Amino acid sequence: METILVLVHTEADGSLAKSAREALRAARTLNKAIAGSSLVVGLVGENVQSAANSISASPVMKYFGMTGADFGQSRYSTDAAAAEAICKAANATIVVAPATSRWARVLPGVAQRLGGRADTHVTGVSDADGKPSINRWYYRQRMEAVLTRTQRPWFMLIDPGSQTACDCGAGTATVEMVAVNLSDACKRTTVVGIREPKADQQTIRPDAKLLFVAGAGWTKKQSDGKTHTDDAAKIILEFLNKSKASLGGSKSVVDLSGEGQAVLPFMTHLNQIGQTGATPRHPKGLSTCCHGEEPHAVGWRFVSERRAVNLDPNCGWARGKADVLYVADAFEVMRKVNALLAGKK
Amino acid sequence: MSTAYQIIVCGSVVPDPLQTLEPITGPALKNEMMLPAVLDPWAAHALFEAANLAKTAPGSKVWLVSLGPKAKLQQVMMTVAQKAPFELVALDGSASGFTEAADVAAALADAIKTIPGLDMARLLVFGGWESASRGAGVTMQIVGELLGIVNQFQGVDQLTIGADGSLEILERIEGGKHQISKCVGPPAVLGWATGNLPEPPNNPQIGMTNMRAIMPALQKAKPAKIGAGGIKFTSVSLPKQQRQTKIVKDASDDEIAKELVEWNTNG
Ligand SMILES: Cc1cc2nc3c(=O)[nH]c(=O)nc-3n(C[C@H](O)[C@H](O)[C@H](O)COP(=O)(O)OP(=O)(O)OC[C@H]3O[C@@H](n4cnc5c(N)ncnc54)[C@H](O)[C@@H]3O)c2cc1C
């Protein structure tokens, strides 16, 4: 009989992120499909009561908690100890967790400790004849597999944004606290802070409707034989400010920035989309001055509607990678777009 | 006081990302052995970071522990050997993305344990935070567990050694941010993202020195039994959504801008 444990951690303010509710929804799908299975929740954080309360209208049979200052930080050693203890207390055979940076760091190691297996970047769960199965992508989003496993416990890390969040309401949950002894080795690491761009310079907006991608073309010589990178930076920033889009970049443009050239100063490796970059989820994406080569385009797997502006009618986007390719000068088009957006305000 | 680190980089080979890949029953990749291969990109960043750290910490040494088909490893080492000084520990086995990460990790951890003079007080285990094949970000954590290392970091973009020998580590977290952590010192596992270093230019001299030891290492590469026991693949398929791209050639900039604004505003 499967015991499905939804393992979540709280955010800094004690709440649960949307990705936690998405994991809960995925777990509930399995719970409904697998006859005789039970659904339990494990919470890790400095304090977990309000998080447990916030989902307590869900059909969860039991709540386990690991709390204290040590569990308020995202740290492998203590998170591993907490997750291991909760999985044992719950006798979990399937562990469904959001693939946050915190859980992605630690849960594969916890699976190893428990003699189980972990699958990450899970984009779907279903049942095949009463057996749980998952969808995940291989070779950087080039091919999708559906698979099932015999090993238990089986950890499934659900990609944030891939599921509908469970909308179960709040109430009062009874949380059974689990304890663990932390060795000295567990405290050799301390989280000292978060480094983030200033609010007005933050160009990565995971919840934005639009992903705006700038390619290396913005930094290349234009029809007058000159580069116009200052103009490019101004146009792009103005568009981001007005549209609140999230900024992505191709490897070429990001590498240029990394090599200390005064190109697009706000562009870092964190903006990179593709094979060795991110694969963000946005309903729409607009590519500008980017060729749309395969190692770039694989990062667009989860961008639903795609449009591109490129001077080259034979660029990669033309070959079935975008819905619409505008053969045009992105400098001119985006200037006009900015003007239209300014007029709308 | 500077520590002489033992930096072990785990990195395998993957098909060149510019290749078109197609799954076949197995699952496996069509013409897998014919596809040109490269060192797994994020593991390559780990190697460059390792070499850079070794340069700044006298007495340090870098090992590259690599599991893949011997012939592929040899082909890839011809270029990788020219990038940075390291000693290769080769394991002969499948580098397919469809294999079990736990099997790979067990083989890597066993190989690491056989490195003579392994010293936990100086040990840093590097790798990529995800491979370009399985793309799971699972292997390094298991290697760490098998070596008894509970100070682990993933999505690392920066490692700075403090005057007291502590490790300050920047890891990628949600929303384009980094978490800053401080670890008292080795041993630690670091799964690297892109880091801060450009790919080093080829250095034939380093290549020659490396290759002298790489060829014997390849010859004595132990076979590693890597499977996918316990996993049953129901299907592996290419995405269906090949789009019918509409190519708009003769519209004015004004028309395009208007269309884009409407498209972005609606729906
Ligand atoms: C191991 C490996 C990993 C890689 N990983 C990634 C990755 O993660 N992400 C990634 O992006 N790439 C990746 N690549 C690189 C990829 O193959 C391409 O080289 C890269 O995406 C090209 O970037 P680009 O399209 O911005 O630049 P370019 O290829 O230089 O294209 C510039 C484009 O701009 C257009 N242009 C110029 N001026 C204008 C204008 N005024 N208006 C409109 N269009 C204009 C040109 O027509 C051209 O199409 C990887 C490659 C390898 C080998």
pLDDT digits (tens, 9 = 90+) for B74-84: 999 999 999 99
As for ligand 1, residues whose beta carbon falls within 6 Å of it are: A 215-217, 220, 222, 250-253, 272-277, 289-291, 293, 295-296, 309-312, 315, 329-331; B 17-18, 38, 41
Average pLDDT over residues A21-50: 97
Domains of chain A (ranges; CATH) run 3-187 (3.40.50.620), 210-343 (3.40.50.1220)
pLDDT higher than threshold 70 for residue A258: no
pLDDT band at B1 (very low <50, low <70, confident <90, very high): low
Chain A residue with minimal CA distance to B141? Answer: A109
Question: How do residues B168-218 score in pLDDT, each as one tens digit?
Answer: 999 999 999 999 999 999 999 999 999 999 999 999 999 999 999 999 999
Question: How do residues A297-313 score in pLDDT, each as one tens digit?
Answer: 999 999 999 999 999 99
> Can you say whether the dihedral through the CA atoms of B185, B191, B197, B202 is positive or negative?
positive
Identify the three-state secondary structure at position A73: coil
CB contact under 8 A, B233 and A210: no
Beta strands B23-24 and B123-128 are: unpaired
Question: How do residues B88-99 score in pLDDT, each as one tens digit?
Answer: 999 999 999 999
- Residues of chain A above pLDDT 70, percent: 98
Which residue puts its alpha carbon closest to atom 45 of ligand 1? A289
CB contact under 8 A, B234 and A146: yes
Question: How do residues B6-35 score in pLDDT, each as one tens digit?
Answer: 999 999 999 999 999 999 999 999 999 999
Quick one: pLDDT at residue B58?
95
CB contact under 8 A, B232 and A340: no
pLDDT higher than threshold 70 for residue A345: no
Are the C-beta atoms of B189 and B125 separated by less than 8 Å? Answer: yes
CB contact under 8 A, B245 and A323: yes
pLDDT higher than threshold 90 for residue A344: no
Domains of chain B (ranges; CATH) run 6-223 (3.40.50.620)
Does residue B258 belong to the interface with chain A, where contact is any CB pair within 8 Å? yes
User: What is the greatest pairwise CA distance in chain B?
Assistant: 69
Tokens of B258: 């208007």
Quick one: pLDDT at residue A201?
83
pTM of structure: 0.96
CA A331 – CA B78 distance, rounded (Å): 42
Quick one: pLDDT at residue A259?
64
- Residues of chain A above pLDDT 90, percent: 91
pLDDT band at A262 (very low <50, low <70, confident <90, very high): low
Beta strands A282-288 and A303-310 are: parallel
Question: How do residues A205-224 score in pLDDT, each as one tens digit?
Answer: 999 999 999 999 999 999 99
